[in-house]
Amino acid sequence: MPEGDTVWQTAQRLHQALTGPPLIRSDLRVPRLATADLTGRRVLEVVPRGKHLLARVEGGLTLHSHLRMDGSWQVYGPGERWRGGPHHQIRAVLATADHTAVGYRLPVVELLRTRDEDRVVGHLGPDLLGPDWDPDEALRRLLADPSRPLGEALLDQRNLAGIGNVYKSELCFVLRVSPWLPIGEVPSPERLVAHAKRLLEANRNRRARVTTDQPRPDHRLWVYGRPGRPCRHCGTPVRTADQGRTGQERSTFWCPNCQPGPLGPAPS
């Protein structure tokens, strides 16, 4: 699932593949960009901003994309078969003489002036993997609405950018607090911010995400994706329930024994 670490890795791959030589192919397969052509321009850099990708191109342009739930960028060499999905799922193609980057299932693809990037990322909080990281500002934003459930506050990219559903559940478990506990009641909330930073930093160069202290293939995550299975710490069955405002619900996983506090919705 694309989260801040996944987006950071994607930006690194795209930067290495596309910067330097001019583009020999530009194919943006969204209706409003049907006539846009970046051929002949050079990609100056590709940078992540939370879960957003910004490919800055000569001439003051930025190609902005977002992976959301299942989007991806794949990079291929000359003559290599494209394997990221069927062709009808391709939303963008950028190619140099040496590499081709193909964006699959991208829900957001837009071209804007680089000077206008704040229009799409200016609302984000401090980026856990970015040069703008500011733990004090992230904590201030999180605590601005002290009654908000912890899980919802963590997912709100306006508070701190880069946490998705996996890290939300895992962070709550590591801190031994319920995802439904109001953020203002979380003991030592600065620990939450510091641990979030450590987890994403530790995983930004890993192929497989690990949040536990035993990174075996069968022991990488504490609770995420393990409903009904024994808690790795106490053996209590892990629970799952939707969390979030209507229309924005996301699955949350937690151990009701290890994580005291509000239990969330009863199983249906």
Q: Annotated active-site positions, please? A: 2-3, 51, 250
Residues 108-126: b if buried by 16+ CB within 10 A, e if exposed: bbbbeeeeebeebbeebbb
- Of 191, 206, 178, 195, the C-alpha closest to 264 is 178
The whole-angstrom separation of Cα 112 and Cα 218 is 43
Burial (0-12, 13-18, 19+ Cβ within 10 Å), 162: buried
The whole-angstrom separation of Cα 53 and Cα 55 is 7
Query: How many angstroms separate the Cα of 248 from the Cα of each of 88, 165, 220, 242?
Result: 27, 12, 27, 9
